Amino acid sequence: MVFIIKPKVGEAQIGNFVKDWENKGFSTILSVGTEHTAVCLIGNTAAVDMDHVVETNDIVEYAKRVTEQYKAVSRTVHLDNTIVDIGGVKIGEGFFTVISGPCSVESEEQIVQVAKAVKASGAKLLRGGAFKPRTSPYSFQGLKEEGLRLLKIAREETGLPIVTEIMNQTQVPLFEDIDVLQIGARNMQNFDLLRAVGEMGKPVLLKRGMASTIEEFLTSAEYLMSSGCKSIVLCERGIRTFETMTRNTLDLSAVVLLKQKSHLPVIVDPSHATGIRSLVSPLSKAALAVGADGLIIESHNDPSKALCDGGQSLDLLQFEVLMQELKIRAAIEQKQL
Ligand code: PEP
Ligand code: MN
């Protein structure tokens, strides 16, 4: 159940209202937006008479039942769009933010060269896998700690914040100095990892599981938020279907639905969604057209030699051309790229 508080009610009054409910045995989520503040009750609310609460508390504008499993990430509880701020780089309403870089960090020369090039083309964050979740144990598994070190060098050289995947809770201490922690598709329902990363309080890029429903995706985001993470970016990266010609099937309707159901920003990964370089550019434009808040795109200085996902990576010139095309379209959508 959620109570929307009237405008201009003071913090102390809201605090007393919250305390009353907690004394009755409920947990609460306090959601403070620019326009609205909401108090969400967690617990068995079946016996709570909503109308009575509204009538007897003049700070409450209206009440609504929240039937979804996810509450803190729900738009019912938080009406304003959340804009995630990563050291001044914004993802959310009014922006179209592009993250780019190689699938895996391979060497200092590679990551620094790619970082400089994607920055010059307009990318605002650098991606690069250090710990790689690979289907085969015999495939390149990433440079691990060394990969994190090289990412930090690339950050120093360019000023781009870095996004990289954490695979399990034992890695938490290694990620203290990482700007955005990626939780990959394979780990979207690793609940212990979600909790541990949520407790770190750092920005998180949460990718949709390849066989996860939109509701499951949002409920995983709820794990993060209820553990303390305020800055979550959702990422649609394609789901498994009967189609074999593409690596996955990009579910663009999910982007629209996620934004209707949740206040969190949503970005699209056309690289893993398709697995095919020539599809990345058209689907990037489609993502912008349906209202995505940004993209994460794999790029490489020499895709033919990439140790991972070369076939879906743009070379640096292709990335630059795509960014030019996106800039024109972002301006029409009144989004800052
Ligand atoms: C990745 O971004 O490198 C990756 C492995 O993505 P996903 O988890 O979406 O497969
Ligand atoms: Mn990849």
Domain residue ranges in the chain: 2-64, 84-332
Minimum-distance ligand 1 atom for the alpha carbon of 237:
9
- Cα angle vertex 121, ends 119, 125, to 5°? 35
Residues, the chain: 337
The torsion angle over the Cα atoms of residues 160, 92, 32 and 181, rounded to 10 degrees, is -40
Cα 131 from chain centre: 19
Q: So what's the pLDDT on residue 160?
A: 98
- Token pair in block for residue 251: 């579910």
Ligand nearest to the CA of 185: 1
Q: What's the 262 CA to ligand 1 centre distance in angstroms?
A: 22
Q: How far apart are the first and last CA of the chain?
A: 38
154-183 burial by CB neighbour count: b if 16+ within 10 A, else e?
A: bbebbebbbbbbbbeeebeeebeebbbbbb
Minimum-distance ligand 1 atom for the alpha carbon of 184:
8
Helix (H, G, I), strand (E, B) or coil at 95: strand
Question: Which amino acid is present at 278?
Answer: S
pTM recorded for the entire structure? 0.96
Q: Which residues have CB less than 5 Å away from ligand 2 (the ion)?
A: 103, 309
Q: So what's the pLDDT on residue 185?
A: 98
Give, using CA atoms, the residue closest to atom 3 of ligand 1.
Answer: 103
Domain 84-332 homologous superfamily, CATH: Aldolase class I (3.20.20.70)
Query: Pocket of ligand 1, candidates 165, 166, 210: which has the most ligand atoms within 8 Å of its Cβ, to mutate?
Result: 165
Per the CB < 8 A criterion, the answer to whether 221 and 71 are in contact is no
Cα gap 111→68, rounded to integer Å: 42
Q: What's the 43 CA to ligand 2 centre distance in angstroms?
A: 40
Q: What's the 2 CA to ligand 2 centre distance in angstroms?
A: 40
Q: What's the 120 CA to ligand 1 centre distance in angstroms?
A: 24
Q: 2-64 maps to which CATH number?
A: 3.30.70.1140
Q: So what's the pLDDT on residue 38?
A: 93
Q: So what's the pLDDT on residue 43?
A: 87
Q: What's the 279 CA to ligand 2 centre distance in angstroms?
A: 15
pLDDT in tens, the chain (337 residues): 999 999 999 999 999 999 999 999 999 999 988 878 999 999 888 889 999 999 999 999 999 998 889 999 999 999 899 999 999 999 999 999 999 999 999 999 999 999 999 999 999 999 999 999 999 999 999 999 999 999 999 999 999 999 999 999 999 999 999 999 999 999 999 999 999 999 999 999 999 999 999 999 999 999 999 999 999 999 999 999 999 999 999 999 999 999 999 999 999 999 999 999 999 999 999 999 999 999 999 999 999 999 999 999 999 999 999 999 999 999 999 999 9
Angle between helices 214-226 and 191-200 (to 10 degrees): 40
